[in-house]
């Protein structure tokens, strides 16, 4: 596997580090293929309970690789569409994913962070969809996911002006779950991932699917969906264990992690 994405295992957590420092982790086809291959393998591996995706201190990822794209024709871009489709299919992975963002998360970099279940940002993080400056628009979900995350006003502002927003603005806007000092970024993301990986896996998957359902349906349908998936959890050993452990004042020992 190419070294454009590095994989480290930390117990039940997998850490994927984007690794094209010379290009600020721009997402070229080699990197995207490697990332998707890692995620495919990790999602089949029952010993992995959560994935953290990170970049370098200077850049999470500065977008799709402009140099690789610049001479492409319409047909070539259409043929390369499997990247867009594979990328968008990541939203259906059962694997919980956290983006740990430091520095630039622009264009496809911001889109990659948004595909993760949530984003933890360092104080230096900068988010944006600057594609308009290149004569294109976001092409890996930016117009849709950013709008759902921050609302129309802020999404239009970012997509039409191409400006960047800093970590504080991103947190205020609802794009980012937490902002932490740079030197605490990885530690915080890994500790959140460890917590998630320690819980009952079927319950984590159900929780993730239920929250994601909120973006796909009406409130009444979503509430109906939540009830349909909430009650069956009472048929699991892990629900019995979780509640017994609470009553007995001990940590739970979930069977299905
Ligand atoms: N693609 C290819 N190379 C990139 C890149 C990108 N998206 N972003 C940065 N690089 C390269 C630069 O070309 C430079 O390489 P050289 O040293 O060989 O010239 C190297 O990374 C370092 O970058 P800079 O010298 O520009 O660093 P800086 O600190 O001065 O500026 C930056 C940082 C503001 C992020 C600037 O690099 C930049 O604006 N990058 C492009 C951001 C962008 O437009 N992203 C959107 C891409 S399109 C897209 O993503 C489409 C989509 O939705 C799918």
DSSP per-residue codes, 98-114:
EEEE-SEEETHHHHHHH
Q: Which residues, listed in sequence order, are joined to residue 64 by a DSSP beta bridge?
A: 27
Residues with CB under 6 A from ligand 1: 23-24, 26, 62-67, 104, 106-108, 111, 130-131, 134, 138-140, 142
> What is the pLDDT at residue 83?
67
Ligand 1 atom closest to 65 (CA): 1
User: Alpha-carbon distance 150 to 156, whole Å?
Assistant: 10
Q: Which atom of ligand 1 is nearest to the CA of 133?
A: 44
pTM equals: 0.96
Average pLDDT over residues 27-55: 94
What are phi and psi for residue 178, nearest 5 degrees? -145, 150
* Number of C-beta neighbours around residue 139 at 10 A: 18
Write out the H or E segment, with its range, that includes residue 241.
helix 237-247
Over range 76-92, report the average pLDDT: 77
To test the ligand 1 pocket, which listed residue (25, 66, 78, 127) has its Cβ within 8 A of the most ligand atoms? 66
123 within 8 A of 180, measured Cβ to Cβ: yes
Q: How confident is the prediction for the chain on average, in pLDDT?
A: 95
Residue 82 has pLDDT above 70, yes or no: no
Nearest CA to ligand 1 atom 30: 24
Q: How confident is the model at residue 86 (pLDDT cuts 50, 70, 90)?
A: confident
Is residue 155 a contact partner of residue 123, using CB atoms and an 8 Å limit?
no
CA distances from 195 to 49, 51, 90, 205, 252 (A): 9, 12, 22, 14, 12
Atom of ligand 1 nearest to the CA of 66: 1
**What is the distance in A from the centroid of ligand 1 to the CA of 150?**
24
Q: Are 176 and 120 in contact (CB under 8 A)?
A: yes
Query: Ligand 1, atom 28: nearest CA belongs to which residue?
Result: 24
Write the pLDDT tens digit of every residue in 122-167.
999 999 999 999 999 999 999 999 999 999 999 999 999 999 999 9
- Tell me the percentage of the chain whose pLDDT exceeds 90: 90
The dihedral region occupied by 162, where left means phi > 0, alpha psi between -120 and 50, and beta the remainder, is left
DSSP states of 160-216 as a string?
Answer: HH--EEEHHHHHHHTS-SEEE-GGGHHHHHHHHHHHHHHS-HHHHHHHHHHHHHTTT
- The per-residue pLDDT for 99 is 98
Closest residue by Cα to atom 20, ligand 1, is: 23
Calculate how far, in angstroms, residue 24's C-alpha sits from the geometric centre of ligand 1. 7
pLDDT digits (tens, 9 = 90+) for 207-247: 999 999 999 999 999 999 999 999 999 999 999 999 999 99
Please state the rounded mean pLDDT for residues 109-134: 98
Query: For residue 252, is pLDDT > 80?
Result: yes
Residue 254 main-chain phi, psi, to 5 deg:
-70, 135
pLDDT exceeds 70 at position 34: yes
Query: Hey, whose CA ends up nearest to atom 12 of ligand 1?
Result: 23
Residues 154, 159: Cα–Cα separation, whole Å: 9
Q: Name the residues annotated as catalytic.
A: 64, 108, 111, 131
Question: What is the 26 CA–ligand 1 centroid distance (Å)?
Answer: 7
């Amino acid at each position: 596997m190419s070294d454009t994405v590095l994989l480290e295992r930390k117990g039940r957590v997998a850490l994927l580090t984007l690794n094209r420092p010379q290009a600020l982790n721009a997402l070229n086809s080699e990197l995207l293929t490697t990332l998707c291959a890692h995620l495919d393998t990790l999602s089949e591996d029952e010993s992995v309970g959560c994935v953290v995706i990170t970049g370098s201190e200077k850049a999470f990822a500065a977008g799709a690789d402009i140099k690789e794209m610049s001479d492409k024709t319409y047909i070539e871009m259409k043929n390369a569409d499997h990247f867009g489709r594979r990328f968008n299919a990541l939203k259906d992975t059962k694997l919980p994913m956290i983006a740990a963002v430091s520095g630039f998360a622009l264009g496809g970099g911001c889109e990659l962070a948004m595909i993760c279940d949530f984003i933890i940002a360092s104080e230096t993080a900068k988010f944006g969809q600057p594609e308009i400056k290149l004569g294109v628009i976001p092409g890996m979900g930016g117009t849709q996911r950013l709008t759902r995350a921050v609302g129309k006003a802020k999404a239009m502002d970012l997509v039409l002006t191409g400006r960047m927003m800093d970590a504080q603005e991103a947190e205020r806007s609802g794009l980012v779950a937490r902002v932490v000092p740079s030197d605490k970024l990885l530690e915080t993301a890994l500790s959140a991932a460890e917590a998630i990986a320690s819980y009952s896996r079927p319950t984590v998957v159900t929780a993730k699917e239920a929250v994601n359902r909120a973006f796909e349906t009406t409130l009444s349908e979503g509430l109906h969906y939540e009830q349909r998936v909430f009650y069956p959890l009472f048929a699991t050993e892990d629900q019995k264990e979780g509640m017994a452990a609470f009553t007995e004042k001990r940590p739970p020992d979930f069977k299905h992690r």
